[in-house]
Structure 1
Amino acid sequence: MADPVPPHPSPKMRTPLTLQTRLMGAVTGIVSLIVVIIAIITSAALSQALENALAEQLRTTATTTTSLVSQREKLAAQNGIPLTTAFVLEGTQVQGADLLLALSPADSAPSGRTVSGNSSTPLTDAQLLQIDHALRSENSTTVTLGSLGSYRITVTQTSNGTAVVTGLSRESNLRTITQLFVVIALATVGGLLLLAITTVITIRVSLRPLRSVAATATRVANQRLDQGAVSITERVPTAEADPRTETGLVGAAVNTMLDHLDSSLAARQRNEEKMRRFVADASHELRTPLASIRGYSELSLRHTDLPEATHTALERIQAQSLRMTHLVEDLLLLARLDEGRELVLSPIDLSRLAVEGVEDARPTAPDHEWELDVPEESVDVRGDLGRLQQVVTNLLANARTHTPAGTRIAVEVLRDGGHGVLRVRDDGPGIDPAVRETLFARFARGDSSRTRATGGTGLGLAITKAIVDGHGGSIAVESTPGNTVFTVRIPLSNAETPATPSGAISSQGGHAIPDRTSSDD
């Protein structure tokens, strides 16, 4: 069996460079390239000029040394002594660059030496051989003689056939080129540092409007714009929104957009307030006729001599008027909660609310298994007793209504940091992911995934969320098939009452808190 192919490692995401970094890199890189090119061209041109000057000087020196050698050659022949560089240079003062002189007479051994000021150094046979090899292909060239350095050399000949090699040291030219490179390098480094500082300052100043735009956009993004009265007062400063500049034009455009957005949000808020007033007024006005319909239907049903069809019709009228009354009451409650009304806050024991809610829910759904888990100490939150009871009732009714018989519904109360937490869990079929995002919206239903045993207005969870939000808390839902959990978090009371032991009677009601965990068999 073939060996498994190891998975390819996922490529690491490169950290994006900022605009300031990219601009600095581009400017510094381009300027550095230009400086390097200028340095190379300057050095090459200067080096060529120095070499040409040295070659011209060498031609003049070679003429002089050839003439000197011719004179010394005759004198050596008259005295019967061999012609050597030491004899030629005897009593001669060398001016300017270091001189190299090598002779190859027809009737004696070659010799050579370098002269620098008053000092003279003879050339070794190996150095003479190196000079000979260098001049075989051309009459003028450069040669490096180890510790003696580099020389520009040329060969001439006397009338008697003596080869005269004249050379001038290139060390002065090399030092000049080296000094030029050092100066260019220092100037380049200093110039690049100055350029980098100038570029950073220029770019930061130029991009300041963009940073101001980003800061303004961030502050606007952190505002809650989805509900309530919203006014966007954040604007890009006028100094950073000058439309005569490219970056200022962005700031001006953002300010214009924020003006339009602020106007749109204000218009939305006015429309929502009108709608809330309409719903509240309509709900309030509908309560009286609905009460009359229900009252007259109840009064009519007291007559025993009514035909069966009429009796059935009156019962339907009474049932639907009652259902309509509940809907109107829910709408009126939502309108009042939207206005911040209807909440009277006081310390409330969340554990007791859970106990009372489960006790009230058990008789309505005896075919469900109920479990309760509350701490031994009370969990006091600051809230409205009636409204928090409604939260518990709605969550339990939701779990009971939308799950089949035999479903286990567990209620848990605990502390988590500065919050009291109420969890309602069931092992029913779960919530369809398609409706989970709108589960707390008004008139939202989850029929597609949960068995719907009875009708509903679709306002229960919306009211629950509005009540929880009004308490400064939060509600969330997690759902998978076989595990649906609603979690409510309410801030704990700042002045909590002393812990109440299990089984004690609270002044808020006559229900006793049973053991920590109880469940239906």
Structure 2
Amino acid sequence: MVTITAIVALILVGIAVAISASLGQILQENLDTKVQDVANVTAATHARMQGPPVAGAEVTAYDVLSEVRQQGTLFVVSPFNGTPTGAVVEDDGTVTELTSVQVDEVLDAIQHPGLDSVTIDGLGEYRVYAYQLQSYVGVVGLPLSEVQKTLAQIVTAVLVVTAAGLVLVGAAIVLIVRAGLRPLHAVAETATRVASLPMSEGAVSIDERVPAEEADDRTEIGRVGHALNTLLDHVGESLDARQRNEERMRRFVADASHELRTPLASIRGYSELSLRAIRQAEASGMPFEDTAETTGQSLERIQAQSLRMTTLVEDLLLLARLDEGQELVYGSVDLTRLAIEAVEDARPAGPDHVWQLEVGEEPVVVAGDSTRLHQVAANLLANARTHTPAGTVVTVSVARDGHDAVLRVHDDGPGVDPGIRDELFERFSRGDRSRARKTGGTGLGLSIASAIVSAHDGTITARSQPGDTTFEVRLPARPADPAAS
């Protein structure tokens, strides 16, 4: 705003100076014309009054101006064979003779015939016209005070108008610029409030937005506000995702710690039991063979818990590698044969369930890791066997749906608990909150299945209600295997 006002002020001052200079020149030219006209009148009057030369008779400047009586007129006459005289007509019309000093000042200032400016003590500055005739030199002038006064009035008026215009223009510029920058102020205030929010940790909610009326994308500054709102939306979504990931990670660490703590506690307990039995035998002098049974049972339990920890750690390692895009060995996989083998493996493990298979005559082939896809099917069948009562009918089907190969595991059991339906494929998600070993494993089975399917660019979903639960795996299908044809 200061820069714009300064530029406008410079322009207005330049206009004022140009107008003043132009008017001054016009006034000067008018005064020169008027001086020449008065000089003509004065010269004619002087010639008429002088008449034919008379011995000893001489017409003075006072005599001429007493006849002319043009206000402000200055007249100096310098005869070639006489004494110079001068006079001036006052504002009230009276004629006053000039002193010899004033007359000499005028004559000394004249260097050549024509127009010139002279300054006379006691009278001021005059614009004069000098001319030479046969018997004398005449100088006629008019005061410059009128021109200077008029010019001063004009300059004052121009300056006043310029100053007033500058104030009005400055006020208009301030109002217009502030109105134009109001959306930018709203953007700055919003950004300042957002910058003051603590976002380093914990749940962060960014509710600050640039008001809709200040974020009109039809203007340049409005587009800035709109872009900031879009950025804040993305940042808010990212912070929500970060918070969910942090909560998921904390829950994952807590669950992993809980799962590892139980076998470690068992290993420690059985180790202490074995050591206590050995120390008691040493203290009582009993042979070590008497502690063999207790020690053997403890070692068996230690081994079982070690295997359990090994399985858990391997599952966690598998998930980590799948997250990094590793652990997959691609090849041609017959999804139909894979489903048949998975059902055959599940029947001995769940003899009290009814296992059914629905597959077509043509094989459904996908590109993927056979071992990992078999693990997906095995995990889904184990999940159905573990969380449904005896007598439940579990149906496994494989079909082609457009460009997708679809593997479905359906059961008519009680269904999935609605409380865990949204986190069914999360790590350590378990329907049994007590974590009893009889009712479930570590809670990694479905999360591993989801990670493997995602690594194959597929999807896994679950639909459940009492008596109707279906887990569906969709994978990109390949054309019929040339080897099979």
Instruction: Give the alignment's TM-score, normalised by structure 1.
Output: 0.52
Matched to 2:8, the amino acid is V
What is the correspondence of 1:61-100 to structure 2 with a 5 Å cutoff? 61-74=38-51, 78=54, 80-94=56-70, 97-100=71-74
Structure 2: how far apart are the matches of 1:42 and 1:194?
Answer: 20
> Partner residue of 2:212?
238
Structure 2: how far apart are the matches of 1:148 and 1:289?
Answer: 123
Aligned-pair identity in percent equals: 45
Structure 2: how far apart are the matches of 1:120 and 1:93?
Answer: 7
Matched to 2:60, the amino acid is T
Tell me which of 12, 15, 18 is aligned to 1:41.
18
Matched to 1:216, the amino acid is T
1:221 aligns with 2:195: yes
> Partner residue of 2:271?
297
1:58 aligns with 2:32: no
Q: Go from structure 1 to structure 2 and tell me whether the alpha carbon gap of 1:111 and 1:57 turns closer, same or farther (over 3 Å shift).
A: same
What do residues 354-378 of structure 1 show as CA deviations (whole Å, max 9, x unaligned)? xxxxxxxxxxxxxxxxxxxxxxxxx
1:142 aligns with 2:136: no
Matched to 2:64, the amino acid is V
Tell me which of 259, 264, 268 is aligned to 2:242.
268
Q: Is the 1:114–1:122 contact (alpha carbons within 8 Å) kept by the matching residues of 2?
A: yes
> Partner residue of 1:336?
none
Q: CA deviation at 1:79?
A: 8.6
Structure 1: how far apart are the matches of 2:190 and 2:66?
Answer: 90
> Partner residue of 1:206?
180
Structure 2: how far apart are the matches of 1:291 and 1:107?
Answer: 145
Matched to 2:237, the amino acid is S
> Partner residue of 2:233?
259
Structure 2: how far apart are the matches of 1:181 and 1:89?
Answer: 34
Structure 1: how far apart are the matches of 2:14 and 2:262?
Answer: 94
Unaligned 5+ residue runs, structure 1?
1-23, 325-521
Q: Is the 1:149–1:169 contact (alpha carbons within 8 Å) kept by the matching residues of 2?
A: yes
> Partner residue of 2:127?
152
Q: CA deviation at 1:69?
A: 0.7
What do residues 308-347 of structure 1 show as CA deviations (whole Å, max 9, x unaligned)? xx99x99xx99xx9xx9xxxxxxxxxxxxxxxxxxxxxxx
Between Structure 1 and Structure 2, the one with more helix by share is: 2
**Which secondary structure does the structure 2 equivalent of 1:303 belong to?**
helix
**Which secondary structure does the structure 1 equivalent of 2:105 belong to?**
helix
Q: Is the 2:45–2:68 contact (alpha carbons within 8 Å) kept by the matching residues of 1?
A: no
Q: CA deviation at 1:103?
A: 0.7
Q: Number of residue pairs matched?
A: 289
Matched to 2:11, the amino acid is I
> Partner residue of 2:94?
119
> Partner residue of 1:108?
82
Q: Is the 1:157–1:164 contact (alpha carbons within 8 Å) kept by the matching residues of 2?
A: yes
Q: CA deviation at 1:125?
A: 2.1
Unaligned 5+ residue runs, structure 2?
279-287, 310-485
Q: CA deviation at 1:80?
A: 4.4
Structure 1: how far apart are the matches of 2:103 and 2:147?
Answer: 23
What do residues 415-474 of structure 1 show as CA deviations (whole Å, max 9, x unaligned)? xxxxxxxxxxxxxxxxxxxxxxxxxxxxxxxxxxxxxxxxxxxxxxxxxxxxxxxxxxxx
Matched to 1:93, the amino acid is R
Matched to 2:173, the amino acid is T
**Which secondary structure does the structure 2 equivalent of 1:103 belong to?**
strand
**Which secondary structure does the structure 1 equivalent of 2:126 belong to?**
strand
Matched to 2:105, the amino acid is Q
Q: CA deviation at 1:246?
A: 1.4
Please tell me whether Structure 1 or Structure 2 has the larger radius of gyration of its CA atoms.
Answer: 2
Structure 2: how far apart are the matches of 1:71 and 1:157?
Answer: 16
Matched to 1:281, the amino acid is D
Q: Go from structure 1 to structure 2 and tell me whether the alpha carbon gap of 1:292 and 1:269 turns closer, same or farther (over 3 Å shift).
A: same
Q: Is the 1:83–1:108 contact (alpha carbons within 8 Å) kept by the matching residues of 2?
A: no
Q: Is the 2:66–2:95 contact (alpha carbons within 8 Å) kept by the matching residues of 1?
A: no
Q: Is the 1:66–1:156 contact (alpha carbons within 8 Å) kept by the matching residues of 2?
A: no
Q: CA deviation at 1:192?
A: 1.6
